[in-house]
Amino acid sequence: MPSTAEVVVVGGGPGGAAAAYWLARRGHLVMLIEKREFPRAKTCGDGLTPRAIHELLEMGFDFSSSEFHRCRGLRAVAGGLTLELEWPEHPVYPSWGGVMRRSDLDGQVARLVEEQGVVVHQGTVARPLLGDGGVVAVALEHNGETEMVSPRAVVVADGSLSRFGRALGARRDERRPFGLGARGYFSSPRSDDDYLESYLDLRQSGSALPGYGWIFPLGDGTVNAGVGVISTFHRWKEVNTSTLLDVLVATADPSWGLSAAGAIGRPAGGKLPMSFSVGPLVGANWVLVGDAAGAVNPFNGEGIAYAYETGRAAARHVSTALGADDLTRLQGYRQEIEDRYGLYHRVGRAFVRLIGRPGVMPLLTRTGLRSRPLMEWVMKVMANLLDPADQGAGFAAYRALERLVQIGPEP
């Protein structure tokens, strides 16, 4: 392994790949460290919204790949009602999305990263050596051997568990919500469907849960089916997401043809920090991005787009700090995250507190699915696709939700 790099990026998922790609585009010597070998599976819904598509297009991703399945919108199902909503027109983001296994997506993006001159090390564990208030070196462990590299800056993108981040002192704010989810792959005769399907009346023992089930078609004879709930109701510790996934498989529209016999491999699940609940985002010479920062949309659990976005933003600020030889400029990244996402995530946290109350989720879904204009607006909000001209509505929504859940200003 080469022992020098200006920037070390820890983690080869969307956040790390984006950071490495854009840093290299800015002329920096970058080393990307991935602890596993591509292709590797991830616990993920595999859905790509227009925000994620936009970031991938910016990196020159080839969507003609046979592993990518294009989707035109979202199909919402609840209480015997079904509503199909196409992705909205937007001045920045495309009006289409899709589905692609992370085992395929991450490996293909890693090749784009390598084409920019980034040195990618797979099957390598990175551990920080601390001193002088920051990371003075990174130990790279591969095949029983260890080498040291001493970067000027580190981008931490090693996922929701983020062992590297925890070693730096990053912790989740337990006052903020997190997600519980499980997903599996199943054979299906409708794998070429062009809508993502969401089941909004997720229940356990007859009680409605704040969350949803999904079936995302992969276009290759299989689908990604999963469930996700938010930790904002008092009995969340009793939730068994594997059981919820079994219920989804048994009760989904029969035309999907889901069954336990059609399962491909074992389901996977876990916890997911949300709403930038992990911090600090910035240290003396390091920044957190993607799931390592809790950069997950609390409205819908989307994380891929925000990993790409925060990785790109981090690259911008790391490059500025290195160019000025002033690492205090890394604080600009923290400020950009607040300016860009702060209000939206405050709205989201208020919303998930509201739907954690008994009876609220069924009421909202029954009301919403009877009104296409309302659901079209809700879809824009939940997918963070409001036109910039409508951003004032976000502030109004936050104030309304604040009154509904009777919360004071957040610390």
**Structural domains in the chain plus CATH codes:** 7-72+99-174+275-340 (3.50.50.60), 178-272 (3.30.9.10), 343-405 (no CATH)
Cis peptide before 280 (omega within 30 of 0): yes
Q: Is residue 409's pLDDT more than 70?
A: no
N residues, the chain: 411
| Token pair 């689908």 in the structure block, residue | 223
% of residues, the chain, pLDDT over 70: 94
| Token pair 């062009």 in the structure block, residue | 194
Task: Quote the CA–CA distance of 144 and 154 in Å, as a whole number.
Answer: 23
Q: What residues contact residue 143 under an 8 Å CB cut-off, 6+ apart?
A: 123
Q: What is the DSSP letter of 89?
A: P
H-helix segments, 6-86: 14-25, 50-58
Query: With bands split at pLDDT 50, 70 and 90, how would you rate the model's confidence at 370?
Result: confident
pLDDT at 391: 63
pLDDT at 408: 45
- Going by their DSSP bridges, the two strands 203-204 and 97-99 should be labelled as unpaired
Terminal-to-terminal C-alpha distance of the chain: 45
pLDDT at 133: 84
| Token pair 């800015």 in the structure block, residue | 26
% of residues, the chain, pLDDT over 90: 77
Mean pLDDT of 60-85: 95
Contact by Cβ (8 Å): 157, 169: no
The two three-digit tokens of residue 338, written as one number: 């607040």
pLDDT at 63: 96
Most confident range, picked from 3-12, 308-317, 387-396: 308-317
pLDDT at 235: 82
Instruction: Tell me the residue type at 137.
Output: A
Instruction: Tell me the residue type at 14.
Output: P
Cis peptide before 298 (omega within 30 of 0): no
Average the pLDDT over each of 45-59, 256-270, 371-385 and give the range with the smallest value.
371-385
Task: Quote the CA–CA distance of 349 and 397 in Å, as a whole number.
Answer: 12
pLDDT at 208: 86
Closest C-alpha among 183, 163, 383, 177 to residue 292: 163
Contact by Cβ (8 Å): 290, 15: yes
Q: Residue 70's Cα: distance from chain center in Å?
A: 19
Q: Which residues lie across from 276 on neighbouring strands?
A: none
Query: With bands split at pLDDT 50, 70 and 90, how would you rate the model's confidence at 365?
Result: confident
| CB hemisphere CA count around 252 (13 angstroms) | 29
Sign of the Cα torsion 254, 259, 261, 266 reads positive
The two three-digit tokens of residue 347, written as one number: 């709205």
